[in-house]
C-alpha cells in the first residue's frame, strides 16, 4: 500500500490543481515534495486515510494564505518545493 501513496496523492492533487488553474495559478509539485507528502500522508494502520489531511495542512492551507496575502501572483507558475522539511510555494 505504501508504494501507492504517491499515485493516490497525485490523483487527489489534480482536483486542487484544477481549482487553482481556474484562478490563474499553474502549480507544479517537485518529486521531493511529493515524497515528503507521501511519507506524511501514510499511516501503517490507516493506510492513505491521513493523506487528505496532509494535503490540506501542508499544501492547501499555506497556498491559500499566500494567495490571500498577495504573495502569489496569478499568471505566474507556482512551484511546490521542500525547504527545511516543509513544502513551500515559490514563484
User: 2-90: which CATH architecture?
Assistant: Orthogonal Bundle (1.10)
**In the chain, where are the structural domains located?**
2-90
Whether 3 shows a pLDDT value over 90: the answer reads no
CA–CA separation, 43 vs 70, rounded Å?
Answer: 35
Confidence of residue 1 (pLDDT cuts 50, 70, 90): low
DSSP-assigned states of every residue in 17-67:
HHHHHHTT-EEEE-HHHHHHHHHHT-BTTTBTTTHHHHHIIIIIHHHHHHH
Nearest to 78 by CA among 45, 33, 36, 11: 33
Pairing of strands 77-83, 26-29: parallel
pLDDT at 79: 98
Nearest to 84 by CA among 21, 33, 15: 33
Amino acid at each position: 500500500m505504501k508504494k501507492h501513496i504517491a499515485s493516490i496523492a497525485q490523483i487527489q492533487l489534480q482536483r486542487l490543481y484544477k481549482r487553482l488553474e481556474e484562478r490563474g495559478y499553474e502549480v507544479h509539485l517537485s518529486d521531493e515534495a511529493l515524497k515528503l507528502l507521501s511519507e506524511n500522508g501514510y499511516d501503517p494502520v490507516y493506510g492513505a486515510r491521513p493523506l487528505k489531511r496532509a494535503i490540506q495542512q501542508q499544501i492547501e492551507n499555506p497556498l491559500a494564505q499566500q494567495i490571500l496575502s498577495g504573495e502569489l501572483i496569478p499568471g505566474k507558475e507556482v512551484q511546490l518545493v521542500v525547504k527545511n522539511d516543509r513544502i513551500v510555494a515559490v514563484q
